[in-house]
Amino acid sequence: MLYNNTLDVWTALCSERGKDWKSIEEYYKFLDHLKGQGVKLDVSVVCPPIKGFSEKPPKAFNIKLDEQTIQKIRQFV
Protein backbone atom coordinates (compact mmCIF):
# COMPACT_ATOMS: atom_id res chain seq x y z
CA MET A 1 0.00 0.00 0.00
CA LEU A 2 1.24 3.45 -0.86
CA TYR A 3 0.93 6.42 1.51
CA ASN A 4 1.49 10.09 0.78
CA ASN A 5 0.83 13.43 2.40
CA THR A 6 -2.12 15.59 1.47
CA LEU A 7 0.01 18.55 0.37
CA ASP A 8 1.78 16.45 -2.27
CA VAL A 9 -1.53 14.94 -3.39
CA TRP A 10 -3.08 18.44 -3.56
CA THR A 11 -0.28 19.87 -5.70
CA ALA A 12 -0.40 16.85 -8.03
CA LEU A 13 -4.19 17.14 -8.41
CA CYS A 14 -3.91 20.84 -9.18
CA SER A 15 -1.14 20.17 -11.68
CA GLU A 16 -3.32 17.56 -13.45
CA ARG A 17 -6.17 20.04 -13.67
CA GLY A 18 -4.13 23.14 -14.46
CA LYS A 19 -5.29 24.87 -11.25
CA ASP A 20 -3.40 27.10 -8.85
CA TRP A 21 -2.37 25.03 -5.82
CA LYS A 22 -1.50 28.06 -3.68
CA SER A 23 -5.04 28.74 -2.44
CA ILE A 24 -5.10 27.77 1.23
CA GLU A 25 -8.90 28.00 1.21
CA GLU A 26 -9.17 25.50 -1.65
CA TYR A 27 -6.69 23.18 0.05
CA TYR A 28 -8.83 23.17 3.20
CA LYS A 29 -11.95 22.54 1.07
CA PHE A 30 -10.05 19.59 -0.39
CA LEU A 31 -9.36 18.26 3.11
CA ASP A 32 -13.04 18.71 4.03
CA HIS A 33 -13.98 16.78 0.89
CA LEU A 34 -11.69 13.90 1.87
CA LYS A 35 -13.09 13.83 5.41
CA GLY A 36 -16.64 13.91 4.04
CA GLN A 37 -15.80 10.93 1.81
CA GLY A 38 -14.57 8.95 4.82
CA VAL A 39 -10.88 9.12 3.94
CA LYS A 40 -8.77 8.60 7.06
CA LEU A 41 -6.41 11.54 7.60
CA ASP A 42 -3.47 10.74 9.88
CA VAL A 43 -1.60 13.79 11.14
CA SER A 44 1.81 13.97 9.50
CA VAL A 45 4.67 14.60 11.89
CA VAL A 46 6.76 15.85 8.98
CA CYS A 47 5.40 18.84 7.12
CA PRO A 48 7.04 19.21 3.73
CA PRO A 49 8.46 22.67 3.12
CA ILE A 50 6.02 24.10 0.62
CA LYS A 51 6.30 27.79 -0.03
CA GLY A 52 3.53 29.77 -1.58
CA PHE A 53 0.53 29.13 0.65
CA SER A 54 1.29 31.60 3.42
CA GLU A 55 3.88 32.42 6.04
CA LYS A 56 2.72 29.49 8.15
CA PRO A 57 2.66 26.16 6.31
CA PRO A 58 -0.72 24.38 6.32
CA LYS A 59 -1.23 21.11 8.12
CA ALA A 60 -0.36 17.99 6.20
CA PHE A 61 -1.93 14.59 6.71
CA ASN A 62 -0.93 11.13 5.58
CA ILE A 63 -3.43 9.21 3.47
CA LYS A 64 -3.44 5.72 2.04
CA LEU A 65 -3.47 5.90 -1.75
CA ASP A 66 -5.50 2.86 -2.65
CA GLU A 67 -7.85 2.72 -5.62
CA GLN A 68 -10.91 3.83 -3.60
CA THR A 69 -9.11 6.86 -2.12
CA ILE A 70 -7.78 7.91 -5.52
CA GLN A 71 -11.35 7.83 -6.88
CA LYS A 72 -12.52 10.01 -3.98
CA ILE A 73 -9.65 12.45 -4.60
CA ARG A 74 -10.64 12.79 -8.25
CA GLN A 75 -14.25 13.55 -7.28
CA PHE A 76 -13.16 16.85 -5.74
CA VAL A 77 -14.41 19.81 -7.78
pLDDT in tens, 17-30: 999 898 889 999 99
Bridge partner list, 61:
43
Q: How much is the average pLDDT of 49-65? A: 78
pTM of the full structure:
0.86
How many Å apart are CA 42 and CA 54, to the nearest integer? 22
Confidence of residue 66 (pLDDT cuts 50, 70, 90): very high
Provide the number of structural domains found in the chain. Answer: 1
The range of the structural domain enclosing residue 62 comes to 3-74
| Residue 56 DSSP code | S
